[in-house]
């Protein structure tokens, strides 16, 4: 987890640098990608790979919940690309005419899992969350965090929504939920499978049935306000390449594009 924290801080530093640069002298070969927090590790690796092959292009990442990133783009914050953990946020931006529709494509799939601390309570299904001994469950804030929205759908599917309401603790993004579970600040949490794989401090206790929630799909596209659309589309093409697919797979994502 230390590596994840360092990578996240690196991403934040990169974002700050990018924003500073855009406030002074904007380069045509400088991209700012607003990406879902759950893509942090794989995106930083992919940026390194792409930058090594294209030293004339500087790519910076702004990692946060997809809902927060959506709102930032709506409010005019700098962004050349948007990589969402849910089609909902992308659709909203498209409906508002803020995305280059022709560039918006579904790239990845993920799964929703129930986790506990490594030495935590033994659970075998989502139904176990109703146990009276469990009183603190971490989930993403449903209004802005796709993982939280998926979790809410899973709870509804199992008929547990009202019974769990007093137990839920809401996080600003899925990585915060992961951190809470690792440190034992919550007894269980609902995150993406890829997040769970990044940590040796948690155990996956159950995988949400596919029919219990809408598909976990990650679309990506170019922001219409971007002044560097050509460079952005070139980077997007790379993200659909076989080389990028191998990196996504390493982190547990499933690539949707069947031609990759």
pLDDT at 259: 54
**Which residue positions form the known binding site for molybdate?**
38, 66, 147, 174, 192
Can you tell me the distance from the alpha carbon of 134 to that of 153, in angstroms, rounded to the nearest whole number?
20
- Which uninterrupted H or E stretch holds 63? strand 58-64
pLDDT at 27: 58
Joined tokens for residue 12: 């934040």
Q: What is the pLDDT of residues 175-233, one digit of tens each?
A: 999 999 999 999 999 999 999 999 999 999 999 999 999 999 999 999 999 999 999 99
* Helix axes 242-250 and 229-239, enclosed angle (nearest 10): 60
pLDDT at 20 exceeding the cut of 90? no
Residue range 78-83: mean pLDDT, rounded: 97
pLDDT at 159: 97
Residue range 46-64: mean pLDDT, rounded: 96
Can you tell me the distance from the alpha carbon of 177 to that of 173, in angstroms, rounded to the nearest whole number?
7
Joined tokens for residue 29: 């070969």
Identical fold, 2-109+217-255 and 112-207: yes
Residue range 20-44: mean pLDDT, rounded: 77
- CATH architecture entry for 112-207: 3-Layer(aba) Sandwich (3.40)
The phi and psi torsions of 216 (rounded to 5 degrees) equal -85, 95
How far is residue 30 CA from its own chain's centroid? Answer: 22
Can you tell me the distance from the alpha carbon of 246 to that of 223, in angstroms, rounded to the nearest whole number?
26
Can you tell me the distance from the alpha carbon of 139 to that of 148, in angstroms, rounded to the nearest whole number?
5
- Give the angle 156-159-165 at the CA atoms, nearest 5°: 70
pLDDT at 5: 41
Of 24-33, 122-131, 245-254, which range is least confident? 24-33
Instruction: Give the pLDDT band (50/70/90) at residue 22.
Output: very low
Task: List the one residue out of 187, 209, 179 whose CA is nearest residue 123.
Answer: 187
pTM for this predicted structure = 0.84
Domain spans, the chain = 2-109+217-255, 112-207
pLDDT at 18 exceeding the cut of 90? no
Q: What is the pLDDT of residues 153-170, one digit of tens each?
A: 999 999 999 999 999 999
β-pair partners for 254 = 109
Q: What is the dihedral of CA 160, 166, 169, 174, to 10 degrees?
A: 10
On average, the pLDDT of the chain sits at 90
Superfamily grouping for domain 2-109+217-255: Periplasmic binding protein-like II (3.40.190.10)
Residue range 43-68: mean pLDDT, rounded: 96
pLDDT at 16 exceeding the cut of 60? no
Task: List the one residue out of 198, 229, 195, 187 whose CA is nearest residue 29.
Answer: 229
Joined tokens for residue 259: 């031609």
Work out the number of other CB atoms within 10 angstroms of the CB of residue 91.
15
Q: What is the pLDDT of residues 88-122, one digit of tens each?
A: 999 999 999 999 999 999 999 999 999 999 988 89
pLDDT at 78: 95
**Which percentage of the chain shows pLDDT scores above 70?**
88
Task: List the one residue out of 200, 174, 196, 179 whose CA is nearest residue 119.
Answer: 200
Confirm if 57 and 31 have CB atoms less than 8 A apart: yes
**Which residue positions form the known binding site?**
38, 66, 147, 174, 192
Q: What is the dihedral of CA 169, 171, 175, 176, to 10 degrees?
A: -80
Instruction: Give the pLDDT band (50/70/90) at residue 29.
Output: confident
pLDDT at 120: 87
Antiparallel, parallel or unpaired: β 254-255 and 30-36:
unpaired
Q: Does 25 or 216 have the greater pLDDT score?
A: 216
- DSSP three-state, residue 85: coil
């Amino acid at each position: 987890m230390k590596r994840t924290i360092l990578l996240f801080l690196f991403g934040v530093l990169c974002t700050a640098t990018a924003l500073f640069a855009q406030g002074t002298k904007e380069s045509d070969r400088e991209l700012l990608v607003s990406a879902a927090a759950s893509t942090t590790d794989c995106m930083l690796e992919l940026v390194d790979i792409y930058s090594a092959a294209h030293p004339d292009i500087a790519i910076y990442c702004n990692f946060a919940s997809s809902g927060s990133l959506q709102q930032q783009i709506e409010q005019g914050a700098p962004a050349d690309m948007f990589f969402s953990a849910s089609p909902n946020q992308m659709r909203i931006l498209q409906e508002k005419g803020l995305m280059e529709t022709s560039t918006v494509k579904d790239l990845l799939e993920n799964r929703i899992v129930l986790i506990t601390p490594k030495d935590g309570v033994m659970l075998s299904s989502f139904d176990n969350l109703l146990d009276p001994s469990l009183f603190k469950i971490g989930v993403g804030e449903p209004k802005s965090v796709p993982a939280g929205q998926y979790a809410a759908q899973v709870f509804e599917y199992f008929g547990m929504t009202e019974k769990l309401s007093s137990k839920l603790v809401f996080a600003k993004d899925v990585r915060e939920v992961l951190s809470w579970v690792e440190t034992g600040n919550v007894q269980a949490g609902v995150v993406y499978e890829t997040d769970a794989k990044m940590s040796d401090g948690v155990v996956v206790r159950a995988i949400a049935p596919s029919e219990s929630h809408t598909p976990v799909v990650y679309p990506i596209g170019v922001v219409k306000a971007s002044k560097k659309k050509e460079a952005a589309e070139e980077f997007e093409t790379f993200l659909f390449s076989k080389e990028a697919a191998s990196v996504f797979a390493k982190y547990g994502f499933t690539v949707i594009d069947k031609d990759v």
